[in-house]
């Protein structure tokens, strides 16, 4: 556990030391929070911010997980420091897990900040406290971090095992369309979606299964594969 903590702490330091990433991440979270509150779904629905918060927190969390994963996994490979780390006593899965935590945690916190901002703006505009329902609050606190960790784990796995070109291709072909689709769904359909306990239960179940699947996938991480795909 000491080594896991060391990896998480060091990765946090690296994220915080990159002012560009910090500024862009915070700005994006605030921007998305305001956009959802002031436009699209925010304007066409009742004062309850439940559904937009559900989509907003997911979009922001996943987008930032994608951004941070690039910083922590991809950069480690590009700089070549991963090779030195693989010669240290830390296990490969432990290293991967530490990075996953370090990606998912700040992404989830910023998703929470974006959601809170959206709730505040909706409340101010409607003149009444727009408190999200219990399932939505739990969604932001539990489901979003789980999905963030799942995406971070999956991206980390791919970025460690695939070559640089394949990784860039995945970014263009898979993730950018995925975020565009999520963003579109947030604006078009979120206002009509009722997020209740059953939705929460289903999503927690899906997130846990996916995270377990990614955890299982991490068994297939291999030093050799990482080393031969170094740039």
Partner 1 sequence: MIVADRLSKAFGGRAVLRGVDFEVGEGEVFGYLGPNGAGKTTTMRLVLGLLRPTEGAALVDGQDVGRSPDARRRIGVLLESNGLYDRLSAIENLSYYAELYEIPRPGERIAEMIEFAGLADRRRDKVGTFSQGMRRRLGLARALLHRPTVLFLDEPASGLDPEAQKLVRDLIADLSSGERITVFMNTHDLDDVQRICSRVAILCNGRIRADEELEVWNARSEASGLVLTLVEEGAVREASSALEGLPAVAACRIEGRTLTVSTHQELPTATVIGLLEERGIALHEIRRARQSLEDLYLETVREAGDDA
Cβ atoms of 162 and 170 within 8 Å: the answer is yes
Name the residue nearer to partner 1 (CB basis): 6 or 212: 6
According to CB under 8 A, which one of 6, 129, 169, 176 is a site residue for partner 1?
6
Q: Is 14 in the site for partner 1 (CB under 8 A)?
A: yes
Name the residue nearer to partner 1 (CB basis): 78 or 138: 78
Binding residues among 196-215 for partner 1 as defined by CB under 8 A? none
Q: How far is the CB of 52 from partner 1 (least distance, A)?
A: 35
According to CB under 8 A, which one of 39, 46, 79, 192 is a site residue for partner 1?
79
- Window contacting partner 1 (CB under 8 A); options: 2-10, 25-33, 47-55, 172-180: 2-10
Q: Is 228 in the site for partner 1 (CB under 8 A)?
A: yes
Q: How far is the CB of 65 from partner 1 (least distance, A)?
A: 20
Q: How far is the CB of 115 from partner 1 (least distance, A)?
A: 29
Q: Is 23 in the site for partner 1 (CB under 8 A)?
A: no
Name the residue nearer to partner 1 (CB basis): 26 or 90: 90
Residue given tokens 């330091």 in the structure block: 13
Would you say how long the chain is, in residues?
A: 231
Q: Is 93 in the site for partner 1 (CB under 8 A)?
A: no
Q: Is 86 in the site for partner 1 (CB under 8 A)?
A: yes
Q: How many residues bind partner 1 (CB under 8 A)?
A: 27
Q: Is 127 in the site for partner 1 (CB under 8 A)?
A: no
Q: Is 219 in the site for partner 1 (CB under 8 A)?
A: no
**DSSP letters for the chain:** -HHHHHHHHHHHHHHHH-HHHHHHHHHHHHHHHHHHHHSHHHHSS-S--HHHHHHHHHHHHHHHHHHHHIIIIIHHHHHSHHHHHHTSSS-HHHHHHHHHHHHHHHHHHHHHHHHHHHHHHHHHHHTS--PPPHHHHHIIIIIHHHHHHHHHHHHHHHHHHS-HHHHHHHIIIIIHHHHHHHHHHHHHTGGG----HHHHHHHHHHHHHHHHHHHHHGGG--HHHHHHT--
Cβ atoms of 76 and 85 within 8 Å: the answer is yes
Sequence-distant (≥ 6) Cβ neighbours of residue 14 within 8 angstroms? 71, 72
Binding site residues, partner 1, CB under 8 A: 2-3, 5-7, 9-10, 13-14, 17-18, 79-81, 83-91, 223-224, 227-228
């Amino acid at each position: 556990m000491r080594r896991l903590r060391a990896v998480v702490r060091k990765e946090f330091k690296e994220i915080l030391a990159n002012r560009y990433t910090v500024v862009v991440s915070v700005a994006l979270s605030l921007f998305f929070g305001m956009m959802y509150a002031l436009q699209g779904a925010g304007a066409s629905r009742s004062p309850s911010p439940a559904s937009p918060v559900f989509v907003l927190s997911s979009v922001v969390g996943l987008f930032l997980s994608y951004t941070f994963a690039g910083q922590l996994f991809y950069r480690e490979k590009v700089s070549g420091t991963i090779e030195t780390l693989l010669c240290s006593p830390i296990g490969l899965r432990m290293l991967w897990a530490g990075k996953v935590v370090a990606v998912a945690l700040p992404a989830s916190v910023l998703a929470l900040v974006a959601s809170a901002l959206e709730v505040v703006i909706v409340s101010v505009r409607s003149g009444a406290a727009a408190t999200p329902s219990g399932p939505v609050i739990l969604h932001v606190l539990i489901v979003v971090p789980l999905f963030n960790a799942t995406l971070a784990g999956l991206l980390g796995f791919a970025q460690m095992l695939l070559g640089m070109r394949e990784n860039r291709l995945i970014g263009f072909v898979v993730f950018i369309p995925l975020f565009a689709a999520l963003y579109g769904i947030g604006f078009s359909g979120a206002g009509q979606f009722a997020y209740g306990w059953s939705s929460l239960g289903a999503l927690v179940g899906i997130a846990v299964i996916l995270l377990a699947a990614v955890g299982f996938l991490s068994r297939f991480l291999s030093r050799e594969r990482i080393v031969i795909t170094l740039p």
